[in-house]
Chain A
């Protein structure tokens, strides 16, 4: 069984401080949904409101269509995996997993049987008698998942459970979490500040900043069609050029950036409508590092500008070229590693350009901090 989760105008205040402000989202049954945002953006607070450890100051949390207000965490069809996992160190692995069954008075044999089934599910067969401290980080992770699944929740809530693992293990656990979710078929709500995690695992992502849900969409949408400057800069890398709108025709805006004209497509709001930008508005035009290309060789290049190469950084699958424009603005330009950069030496000036379709124009707003 899996249930949908709906947040209707949820605000959570601690005194004068709003950890979450008017959050509205509907997470479908069986979906893998991630809340992505920097630390302190209110995503954990939101998860605690879904799990029942907090009551929203305003608004409602609905699970499977039912209003959850006044219903405690032990009475909700949710199960929470804590950031530090919160396994019980003095119990064996099997006792940890079957704790929720022990609570319900299930017999010892039945508990053991269920624990063994769940250990199989998370690929830890035969480890039930071990103590928690005898397990590796990745194994503890799996025990936490098995323990949470033992309740047979309709919604599994995960609070950055992979953050303590090293990179390789984290990547492996991502794939595994996704596979477990597909196998059990219940709704997963995942909290993370790591965009890689959110983008690889989720069906949809909700990007949060400062207590507000800035954009909800598929991983592709959030990356390709950000609807706020924050999302544009928080998810993936982006070059941001601030300027004023000179002309708008159809969905193309011509923007004057410190004397140079650039064209880009007008971004869409969270609701899917184009942002209403008019002549004279302050906007930011966003160009991804991989959307830039060398202007040399292209015929009648549009959106071109020159910049000085500062450093070239090799990152394995790609090379990042850091440049400074003549207006002293930092620019990042990425090319695949196979690209020949032998004639691009630090100090030399190159001409870059980008396609109008790959640039997005959004009304000015706060950017994500680097």
Chain B
């Protein structure tokens, strides 16, 4: 601590300490602990809070697993189904995102001229000045029944009838993939940029094909970047709200929409909190499992 003050001077050090403490305690720790506490309490009208009925209970977690007491099903198939769908789709979107961003990041980091690099990075960033909701609606217009893509394909005679891209969730996948593309590209770019170009040439000189060079040399080198980007994209996709609201088909329901309903429409903050905690815990557990499988440490991911 003394060293930190000595190195940065007292003004900067004090600012850092206050800012970080405020951020961690007031903006992250307290709200999350409040949510955690709330999730174990019954949903009571304000007058009864703090009274004899306000005891710790697992009722909201039970509701997620077994459904309401009046339900005839053994388990809460609807909510669990939505949850599994959400996690599954988030995994799929993360994979699509990775496959899509890896070549772009590799091109920017290793093949493009410095000028092209600057231009490409600008081209990636500028569209994100438009807000998420607007971008989602734009994608909806693109994929709608009377949308740009359908009209174009019909015009060209490639289609006989309009395809319902919304119902097929093509629009949703596209929107979700595009929404967090930068969070995948930049960690990948950072990791790939540090790869010594001579390694690529050495591999080529030794007779390696492009695919093998990537598999054996580039991907292992970029592993931490891949993990970092994938983690962020997965977390944010699983927790996305605006994009699924605008782009999902009528029969697709995102888990965040469920949480939103408990909080806002049903005015059941306790249950909303419990559902949020479930999403958070499962997402984090999934990420940690993946890191274990791919042998990446948390230190590498945040590098």
Contact = CB atoms under 8 A, between A and B. Distances in A.
12 contacts: A53-B201, A53-B205, A74-B204, A83-B198, A84-B196, A84-B198, A86-B199, A91-B216, A100-B208, A103-B206, A150-B206, A151-B206
SS class of chain B's interface: helix, strand, loop or mixed? helix
Contact of A82 (B201, B209, B221): B201
Given A88-B217, A90-B220, A90-B221, A74 B199 contact: no
A133 to B, nearest CB: 14
Interface string A79-109: 1101110111011000000011011100000
Given A74-B207, A84-B196, 20 more contacts: A51-B205, A53-B201, A53-B205, A72-B204, A74-B206, A74-B208, A78-B205, A80-B201, A83-B198, A86-B198, A86-B199, A86-B202, A90-B217, A90-B220, A99-B206, A100-B207, A103-B206, A103-B208, A103-B209, A104-B207
B295 to A, nearest CB: 11
Contacts of A82: 198, 201-202
Interface in A130-184: 147, 150-151
A218 B212 CA distance: 42
Nearest to A74: B207
B277 interface: no
Nearest to A52: B205
B15 to A, nearest CB: 39
A79 B207 CA distance: 10
A123 B199 CA distance: 24
Contacts, number: 57
B278 interface: no
B203 interface: yes
Interface string B182-217: 000000000000001011011111111100100011
Nearest to A83: B198
A316 B104 CA distance: 58
Contacts of A78: 205
Nearest to B220: A90
A73 interface: yes
10 closest A-B pairs by CB: A86-B198, A86-B202, A100-B206, A74-B207, A90-B220, A103-B207, A82-B198, A73-B205, A103-B208, A80-B205
A79 B205 contact: yes
Given A88-B217, A90-B220, A90-B221, A99 B198 contact: no
A111 B82 CA distance: 50
A84 B202 CA distance: 11
A99 B208 contact: yes
Given A103-B209, A103-B212, A86 B204 contact: no
Nearest to B217: A88
Nearest to A91: B216
A53 B220 CA distance: 24
B195 to A, nearest CB: 10
Contacts of B221: 90
A49 to B, nearest CB: 14
A86 B196 contact: yes
A80 B202 contact: yes
Contacts of B196: 84, 86
A84 B201 CA distance: 12
A51 B201 CA distance: 10
Interface centre among A53, A88, A100, A150 (most CB of B within 10 A): A88
Contacts of B209: 103
Contacts of A87: 202
A51 to B, nearest CB: 7
Contacts of A102: 216
A147 B201 contact: no
Contact of A99 (B201, B203, B220): B203
B121 to A, nearest CB: 25
B84 to A, nearest CB: 36
Contacts of B203: 88, 99
A72 to B, nearest CB: 8
Nearest to A88: B217
Contacts of A151: 206-207
Contacts of B199: 86, 88
